[in-house]
Amino acid sequence: MPAHASRPDEGRATLYASTRGAWWDAPQPFSAILLEGLAPDGGLTVPLAYPELARDELAKLRPLAYPDLAAAILARFIGDIPRADLDALVRRTYTRERFASDEITPLSTLEPGLHLLHLSNGPTLAFKDVALSLLGHLFEYALGDAGRLNILGATSGDTGSSAEYAMLGRRGIIVFMLSPHGRMSAFQQAQMYSLDAPNIHNLAIDGPFDACQDIVKALAGDAAFKRRHALGAVNSINWARIAAQVVYYFKGYFAATAGDDETADFAVPSGNFGNVLAGHVARSMGLPIARLVVATNENDVLHEFFSTGRYRPRGADETHATSSPSMDISKASNFERYLFDMTGRDPQKLAALWATLARDGSFDVAGSPILSRVRDSGFVSGRSTHADRVETIRDVHRRHAVMIDPHTADGVHVAQAMRDPRTPMICLETALPAKFAATIREALGVEPPRPSRYAGLEGRPQHVTVLPADAARVAAYIAGHDRAA
Ligand SMILES: *Cc1c(COP(=O)(O)O)cnc(C)c1O
């Protein structure tokens, strides 16, 4: 039995309850929350406590290869998958073939004290592959031989393709992915629509992304339909995605430091707050992270919160379309998990904040114990504009001969302003430039390179069904293509 098994927190980190109070008297094991993320009371699932690192544990984790590190960390959150099975799942997920290097998330150094942690070498060239690839294997494992799951999702770009590549060929799983017809980049469309697999269905909806999301909400909200077709989701509130992302904070910390008494800062381009939340979890476990730098673009709701204590999400009509589109989010769904911790993990205090938000459209924690916890949590923030991103892409290219994408540029721009000369700053690279060629052309006047497997992507045959923005038509399509129907 591993030495940590007797620590009092240990079982609690593998049991889950809701940020809004449900399940604290009947906590759920990992497998029960794996397919959802949303608790029945509308809250988000969180572990009863974060696992705590023993004093000598960093030294044991430091030399591990990525799959072993992943298994060691994930085992702290998963109590109901035997360790040998978990080991096998992560080994199948984190391969050189899938992530283009044995390091999986290699670190490079721009200049002394300023690093890039490369999270985008997976199948769809964005960091979401790190977590979603694992989810594909976890889902398949959880379903077993006879289980079936129909994943219904809506995407404006990165999540949909990452989910499709993660679920490609996974037994018992079918993906129905809705995307706004003609509104994604040619690369993003081709990346999804060129997939030719019996378990992947691309549905291009005649309407904007919001229409796609409304249809998903309507169908997932229809309990009878959901049950009949075993509908599931892979959205960014899925806890397993967060847990999988915790791993690369450890990996990055080990790569940028020489010993476990050092600290490191991380800069994180943020949208739905899932990536940086994983950093918060790692820090809460005891990883020596000094600061978590939240970088936003012009959609700066989170920057406003961290700099003033005021939280004022904007409506969809106030959300700017920017050159870092995966961060064009005004209501970050994972923020609830962080805020829950900042209330001292008190569902009633959280409910009071949400009630104020519903009544006034905002709340303000300035002067309250919540803000002092926020300050103690290591979070700081900054924002970038389109001009900042273009300038940062140019600057990094000129000085370091490295090409970064506009999202990563958000992070690097904010990180530069926040650097502490005594502490290494690790900027998370969240996508490769090939995905966002227009901004690269604007900044550098050249076409970004793309991995050879994507050569000629836009010319490949596309497999997509165009449907009107009508939930009934999408429901009929699903019913017609659900294998069990
Ligand atoms: C999803 C995404 C983000 C935002 O990550 P969150 O976890 O939603 O905060 C940033 N950059 C890229 C390229 C993304 O795909």
Higher pLDDT, 417 or 209: 417
Residue 9 has pLDDT above 70, yes or no: no
Decide whether any atom of ligand 1 lies within 6 Å of the 272 Cβ: yes
Quote the pLDDT of residue 5. Answer: 44
Enclosing H/E stretch for 475:
helix 471-481
All structural domains of the chain with their residue ranges: 103-123+241-444
Q: Which of 60, 128, 217, 349 is catalytic?
A: 128
Strand partners, 70: none
Quote the pLDDT of residue 211. Answer: 87
Contacts of 393 (CB under 8 A, 6+ apart): 403, 404, 406, 409, 433, 439, 440, 443, 444
pLDDT band at 48 (very low <50, low <70, confident <90, very high): very high
Contacts of 25 (CB under 8 A, 6+ apart): none
Instruction: Give the residue among 142, 104, 135 at the shortest CA–CA distance from 121.
Output: 104
Strand order in the sheet with 465-468: 231-232, 149-154, 173-180, 200-206, 465-468
Type of residue found at 394: R
Quote the pLDDT of residue 38. Answer: 82
**In percent, how much of the chain has pLDDT > 70?**
98
pLDDT band at 393 (very low <50, low <70, confident <90, very high): very high
Higher pLDDT, 220 or 46: 46
Strand partners, 174: 150
Task: Indicate the average pLDDT of the chain.
Answer: 94
CA distances from 73 to 53, 68, 106, 132, 247 (A): 10, 9, 18, 17, 7
d(Cα 395, Cα 297) in Å, to the nearest integer? 18
Quote the pLDDT of residue 481. Answer: 94
pTM, to two decimals: 0.95
Per-residue pLDDT of 453-476, as tens digits, reads 899 999 999 999 999 999 999 999
What string of DSSP letters covers 264-300?
EEEEEE-SSSHHHHHHHHHHHHT--EEEEEEEE-S--
The alpha carbon of 216 and the centre of ligand 1 are apart by a number of angstroms equal to 20
Mark whether 128 is an active-site residue. Answer: yes
Decide whether any atom of ligand 1 lies within 6 Å of the 236 Cβ: yes
Residue 49 has pLDDT above 80, yes or no: yes
Decide whether any atom of ligand 1 lies within 6 Å of the 275 Cβ: yes
Instruction: Give the residue among 387, 431, 428, 393 at the shortest CA–CA distance from 409.
Output: 393
Decide whether any atom of ligand 1 lies within 6 Å of the 269 Cβ: yes
Residue 3 has pLDDT above 50, yes or no: no
Q: Please tell me the residue having the least CA distance from ligand 1 atom 14.
A: 326
CATH class name, domain 103-123+241-444: alpha beta
Per-residue pLDDT of 305-315, as tens digits, reads 999 999 999 87
Per-residue pLDDT of 431-441, as tens digits, reads 999 999 999 99
Quote the pLDDT of residue 4. Answer: 43
Enclosing H/E stretch for 190:
helix 186-193
Residue 158 has pLDDT above 50, yes or no: yes
**196-200, 234-238, 343-347: which has the minimum mean pLDDT?**
234-238
Residue 1 has pLDDT above 50, yes or no: no
d(Cα 134, Cα 305) in Å, to the nearest integer? 32
Residue 36 has pLDDT above 90, yes or no: no
Question: Mean of the pLDDT values across residues 390-396?
Answer: 98
Write phi, then psi, for 114 (nearest 5 degrees): -130, 115
Contacts of 38 (CB under 8 A, 6+ apart): 44, 45, 237
